[in-house]
Amino acid sequence: MIARRGLLALPALLAAAAAGAQPWAPSRPIRFVLPLAAGGSLDALARLIAAHLTPVLRQPVVVEPRPGAGGNLAFEYVARAAADGHTILVGWDSLVINPPLYRRVNYDPVTDFNPIVQTIAAPQVLVVRADGAGDLSSLIAAAKAARPALSWASPGNGSIGHMTGELFRRDAELPDFEHVPYRGAAPAATDLLAGVVSALWVSLPAVTEHVREGRFRALVVTGARRSAVLPSVPTAIEVGQTALEIVSWQGLLAPAGTPAAAVETLNSEVNKALNSDNISRWIAAQGSERIGGDPGVLAAQIRADVRRWAEVIHRTGARPD
C-alpha cells in the first residue's frame, strides 16, 4: 500500500530529523513560488526571508510570482515539482480555501505538501479611501442605498479577504455589494486608491502604510483584540460582527516527499530569519504576529482551516467571481 503523503507523513519527517538525519544543502538556486502578484505583504516577507537565506545556504533564493486562478496555478505547480527542497511554496490561506471553493483543483492541501514553517499570522482589515465612509455603519448604509451597487475588492478568489468579505456581506445583508477579485493585494490597493472599488478586505500588513500615511481609512480589524499598530480601529466583535474573528496565516511548504533533512534545514534557518532584528521589527511594524516553530504548527493550522473554510463556503454560498 502506498504511504499517505504530505501532512500525514509529518510524524515520520520529525522522527527522522530527531534521529539525526544527514545535513542538507541545496545544490542549485531555491525558488520561492508566490501565488500572487509581486508587491504585496506576502511578497515582501518572502523577499526578506530569501535575502537572509541566500548567504546561509550558499545558493540564491529567488521569489518567483505565479499568480492566477486564485493561487491554484502556484499551488498545483509546487505540488507537482521535484521533492528535493529547491522549489518552495509561499503559502497562505487560499491553499486550503480553494478546494471547496472551486469546482476542481489539482492538488490536496493535506497530502501534497510538507509544511516547513508558519511565518506569521495577521488579522484582516476593511479599508476605504480617506474620503470614503467614516465608519462601518456608514459603509453598510451606503452599500444598501447605492444604485448601481458599490463594489469591494479582495486580493483574489479564494483569498481570506474574499472569505471575510463574504461573511461580512451575508451578516450585513448586502447581497448587491459586488466582489471584485484581484491578483494580489497590491493591484487591489491601487484600484481602491483610484476609486475603481469602494472598499477592500485584506490582511493588515498589506495596507498598514497606506493607513498610517492617510491614504486609506481602516474601519474594522478581525483580530480578537485591537491591533497595536492601529489601536483606534475597532475589532469586528466590538461593532457586532461576531462571525468575523479571523486571522490569516502565511508559511512555507515543500512538495510532499521532500527529504526530512531539507525540511529541517529550511525550518531551522527560516526560524533564525524570523528572529533576526530586521525581520522581527518589520513583522511587528506591519501589525503581524511572528509564529515560527516546528512544521507541526503549520500542519495543525492547515488541518483546522480545511474544516473551517469548507463550512464557511457551504454556509455563504461563496463562489469564484
pLDDT recorded at residue 77: 98
> Hey, what's the cell of 215?
491614504
Q: Dump pLDDT digits (tens) for 131-143.
A: 999 999 999 999 9
Confirm if 184 and 39 have CB atoms less than 8 A apart: yes
Pairwise CA distance, residues 30 & 85, whole Å: 8
Confirm if 309 and 96 have CB atoms less than 8 A apart: yes
Give the H/E segment covering residue 271: helix 260-275
pLDDT recorded at residue 39: 87
pLDDT recorded at residue 211: 96
pLDDT recorded at residue 23: 83
pLDDT recorded at residue 220: 97
Give the H/E segment covering residue 88: strand 87-92
What's the full length of the chain, in residues? 321
pLDDT recorded at residue 10: 57
pLDDT recorded at residue 2: 36
The neighbour count for residue 132, using CB atoms within 10 Å, is 17
> Hey, what's the cell of 25?
544543502
Q: Dump pLDDT digits (tens) for 71-87.
A: 999 999 999 999 999 99
Strand pairing partners for 31?
62, 87
Classify the C-alpha dihedral 309-312-317-318 as positive or negative: negative
Pairwise CA distance, residues 259 & 10, whole Å: 11
In the 3-class helix/strand/coil scheme, how is 122-166 assigned residue by residue?
A: EEEEEEEECCCCCCHHHHHHHHHHCCCCCEEEECCCCCHHHHHHH
Pairwise CA distance, residues 261 & 257, whole Å: 11
Pairwise CA distance, residues 212 & 283, whole Å: 16
Low-confidence ranges of the chain (pLDDT < 70): 1-22
The neighbour count for residue 303, using CB atoms within 10 Å, is 14
pLDDT recorded at residue 17: 47
In the 3-class helix/strand/coil scheme, how is 194-239 assigned residue by residue?
A: CCCCCEEEEEHHHCHHHHHCCCEEEEEECCCCCCCCCCCCCECCCC
